[in-house]
Structure 1
């Protein structure tokens, strides 16, 4: 399903749903970050997705990271909370979702790197290599918040 991101855009459609979600900054022993190139918008992004009934936020982050990248992780902290009502995602099925995401920090514990039906590519990148990758501003914001080392961001 195709997706278009709007952030503080006066031409954005009105949201019609609010879904809790987790994204995950996974950092390996070499300090590299795990990213996927999404099939719904072609951009590089952190692994993540919507929280399911019966799971915790940490469980959501662990599940989504494994499903989308093949990597098992342990959650080690929080990068920040992202709830800008001016940031919406419009899907081609008519859903327009208001942002509600908690970005978690994790370390890999196992698994085998592979793409999924939600990603064209999955790879590890050094932090400086991320700057030139195409990605939506909200994902870049999360990565920059992690790189700043300032503690959990509230946006």
Structure 2
């Protein structure tokens, strides 16, 4: 079994998934960075789709900057989550700000840092709530090391 690409896997009817990345950014006061989305008018943590030629860690930092104007660095891996209905795999990372300033975008109409308690009040998406809870639980303890190997 093969096709013009010479790899039989391209001819299989494999499930399609999207890969996303979420940045849970905590400042030095322990406040959470949230953006109010322009499409849904809901508060969420920055994140989005990983491009085909992009490392997941690069994607999360790009999304944070594009959506909020904040430059961040990754502190640790929070978790891998799958939306079973939509086929989305999401890699979530705990990050800290290292520069930049608030800048809205086509995707965000408001940006701010909020206490965790206020962030939980503002977040409506249950998946976002779970990711934030997991990040705060790990922030209080030690991080598990998680390594992603990329092949080309």
1:99 Cα offset (Å): 2.1
Task: Tell me, yes or no, if structure 1 residue 39 matches structure 2 residue 28.
Answer: no
Partner of 2:116: 127
Richer in strand (by share): 1
TM superposition score normalised by structure 1: 0.76
Partner of 1:99: 88
Q: Distance in 2 between matches of 1:17 and 1:52?
A: 15
TM-score by length of 2: 0.77
Answer yes or no: is 1:68 the counterpart of 2:67: yes
Residue 134 of structure 1: how far off its partner (Å): 4.2
Specify every segment of 5 or more residues in structure 1 that has no aligned partner in the other structure, as ranges. 1-15, 89-97
Gaps of 5+ in 2: 1-14, 145-152
Per residue, is there more helix in 1 or in 2?
2
| Cα RMSD, aligned residues only | 1.7
Q: Aligned residue for 1:26?
A: 25
State the match for 1:77 in structure 2. 76
Structure 1 segments (4+ residues) deviating >4 Å: none
Q: Tell me how many residue pairs correspond in the alignment.
A: 127
Q: Structure with the greater relative contact order (CA < 8 A, sep ≥ 6): 1 or 2? A: 1
TM-superposition CA deviations, 1:64-97 (whole Å, max 9, x none):
00000000011111111111313x3xxxxxxxxx
